[in-house]
Structures are given as C-alpha cells and as structure tokens.
Amino acid sequence: MSDRVTGAILVGLALAIGLEASTFEVAFLTDPVGPKALPYLVAVILAGAGAVIALRPRTAPEWPGRPAWRRMGGGALSFLVFAVLLEPAGFFVACTLCVALMSTMFGASRWQSAAAGVGVSAALWGLFVRILALPLPLGDLWTR
C-alpha cells in the first residue's frame, strides 16, 4: 500500500513540475536548450519511476506505533520551536526549549531535560559567540 501511495505522489509531483515548467516564459531565446529542458527531464523520470513503483509495489515498510509517532512529532516540533523562536525570543529561550523538548522525547525526566536545555545552550553560546565570535540573536522581544 505504501508503495502505491508513494508512486502516486511521485507521479503527481512530476505533473506539478511539468505544468509549472511549461509556464516558464523566456522573452528571447538565450540558448537552444532553455530553462524548461531539465525540469521536463526531471518530470519524465519521476513520472516513470512513480508509475513503476505504484504498479509493481515491492516493499512494505513497518510504520511505527502511536508512541513512536508521538516522540517523532515532539522531535519535529522541537526543531520548529527553535526556528520560530530564535529571532523573536532569542537564542537562550529558543535553544533551551528546543533541547529540553527533544531530550524529553528521548525519555529524560523533567529535571534532566531542563538541565540538558540549559547546559547545551550555555555550551553552544560559548562555542559560537565566545570562541568563533559569531553573533547569535538575543531576542527582539527583550532588546527593543
């Protein structure tokens, strides 16, 4: 089943790429190949591969159970927390929360994850700001 869905997704992606590429308008012909050729080639390969995968499914991956999905969801969320909070709330808040959430997902207790968050943030601040002299945001919310 997974292979059929994957194949269908690949064919859909190929169609989308092909359609989008067909809208590329070049005012004058800069070179005989043009910007459309490679996207078209990509679309053809993807469509062909997707069709084969959908029509001749081979592998059936073991998808994880619900607790594992929850852990992975938490992990993905922790990455986004870092991305979203980094500039507004600053490095320390973003990094501490991100690492704490991630280590909770790896099974750390509340205190352990808090310690990991604070410890890793301090170590990385030392490495990037003190040693490598690269600025990291302190947070627009506090420094305004």
Partner 1 sequence: MDALTHLMGGFAVALRPLNLGLAFGGVFVGTFVGMLPGIGPINAIAILIPVIFATGLPPEGALILLAGIYYGSQYGNSISTILLNVPGTASAVVTALDGHAMTRQGRAGPALAMSAIASFVGGTASVFGLVLLAPVLAKWAIRFGPAEYFALMVFAFSALSSLAGGSLVRGLAATAMGLFLATVGLDPNSAIPRFTFGQIKLLDGMDFVVVTIGLFAVSEVLQLLEDTEAGREVQAKVGRVMVSARELTSTGWTMARGSVLGFFVGVLPGAGGTIASFLAYTTEQRVVDREGTFGSGDIRGVAAPESANNAAATGAMIPLLTLGVPGSGTTAVLLGALLGLGVTPGPLLIQEEPDLFWGLAASMYVGNVFLLLLNLPLVGLFVRALTAPRWLLIPGVAALSFVAVYAVNQSPFDLVLMTGFGVVGYAMRKLRFPLAPVILGLVLGPLMEKNLRRSMALSGGEWGILFDSPVALTLWGMAAASLVIPPLLARRTPLPPEADLSEVD
Would you say 101 and 79 are in contact if contact means Cβ atoms under 8 Å apart? no
Amino acid (one-letter) located at 111? W
Q: Is 79 helix (H, G, I), strand (E, B) or coil?
A: helix
Of 59, 66, 130, 143, the residue at the interface with partner 1 (CB under 8 A) is 59
Q: Which residue has the tokens 């910007």?
A: 35
Q: Does residue 107 bind partner 1 (CB under 8 A)? A: yes
Q: How far apart are CA 84 and CA 77, in angstroms?
A: 10
The mark string for 64-103 relative to partner 1 (x by CB under 8 A, - otherwise) is x---x--xx-xxx-xxx-xxx-xx---x---x--xx--xx
Q: Does residue 24 bind partner 1 (CB under 8 A)? A: yes
Cβ 106 to partner 1, closest distance in Å?
A: 4
Size of the site for partner 1 (CB under 8 A): 71
